[in-house]
Amino acid sequence: MSERLEDIAARMTATGKGILAADESTGTIKKRLNSIGVESTEETRRDYREMLFSAQEAMTNHISGVILYDETIRQKAKDGTSLVEVIASSGAVPGIKVDKGAKPLAGFPDEKITEGLDGLRERLDEYYRLGARFAKWRGVIAISDDLPTWGAVKQNAQALARYAALCQEAGIVPIVEPEVLMDGAPGDHSIDRCYTITEWVLKTVFQELYDARVSLEGMVLKPNMVIDGKNARKASREEVAEKTVRCLKATVPAAVPGIAFLSGGQSDEEATAHLSLMNAGYDVPWTLTFSYGRALQAAALKAWGGKQENVAAGQRAFAHRAKMNGLAARGDWKEELEKAA
């Protein structure tokens, strides 16, 4: 008897836990490893991710799921255990990124469409056999004075909905990720412009999900926070929290079990602080949690530095960030806790 989508989604959005995004493409992980002077090979990529997934304290107490890349879901740890089993043994749900990346959208200068729908049904069946119980697809929405266009919003929302329906058919919970880019060019938009566009994008996405007959109880939303552009940062943490919650209340049905934010261009501590303020200050119908990549990994990557003797140090750094975000997911994070560490 396979597990119900609602139950998997509930595990993914368990109180005080969040999702580790470890689905960097081979190109992105190469940049991360290069930054610490480590050559990116299949083995170094495996060693780095194994260090994270086998960090007992972080994984057991603060991580509810892990998004994997195609290479990683097939890899084994040094002792021969599959990495999927390492993740599952901590109680976290293994997941998989299934999109093929954002490519230029024909006819729409400076806008993108995410590819990967062709053959997705067959790929999902294989990933299910490999142990994945949720998937992720990211649609990217450019924001400026004239962007996005309706055509780009509509096509990305449709792709997200088609992907989500295929996931549910395969017994896999879809993470639906429409990201209004904080750090895209020119990055000088105000927080109010971000609110307007995020509201429009989310309304469109949920209309498409409804039309595609996607069960809202068996999905997780991964949106951006409502925040000003990376080159125009003025909004206070309180304003980001207030406007993000207001925007979500206006667009996201209460049937959705959880919302796991992306960190998208924010610093580690900022992403944590914003999440904590939302949980501490507002009453909402969904679990508000995190699905962070760099904001969970940056400190651990540095501490590890590619050296076997630094694995424990890397795991401690990961555990600290996971714990801080776990507290934020309950509304209990305090700045002093960062200093104490």
Supply the residues annotated as catalytic: 177, 222
Measured distance CA(13)–CA(241) in Å, rounded: 19
User: By three-state DSSP, how is residue 1 classified?
Assistant: coil
Measured distance CA(201)–CA(198) in Å, rounded: 5
User: CA-CA distances (angstroms) from residue 66 to 56, 90, 248?
Assistant: 14, 11, 24
Give the helix/strand (H/E) hosting 291: strand 287-292
Give the helix/strand (H/E) hosting 63: strand 63-68
User: CA-CA distances (angstroms) from residue 118 to 101, 124, 152?
Assistant: 13, 11, 19
CB 174, CB 137: distance < 8 Å = yes
The residue behind tokens 């610490």 is 36
Strands (E), 84-229: 93-97, 102-104, 112-114, 134-141, 173-180, 220-221
Measured distance CA(341)–CA(337) in Å, rounded: 7
Furthest C-alpha separation in the chain = 53
- Helix runs in 170-225, H state only: 191-211
Residue 184, token pair as written in the block:
């895209």
**Which pairs from 234-242 meet CB under 8 Å and 24+ separation?**
234/190, 234/191, 235/191, 237/270, 237/273, 237/274, 237/277, 238/277, 239/191, 240/191, 240/274, 240/277, 241/274, 241/277, 241/278, 241/281, 241/282, 242/281, 242/282
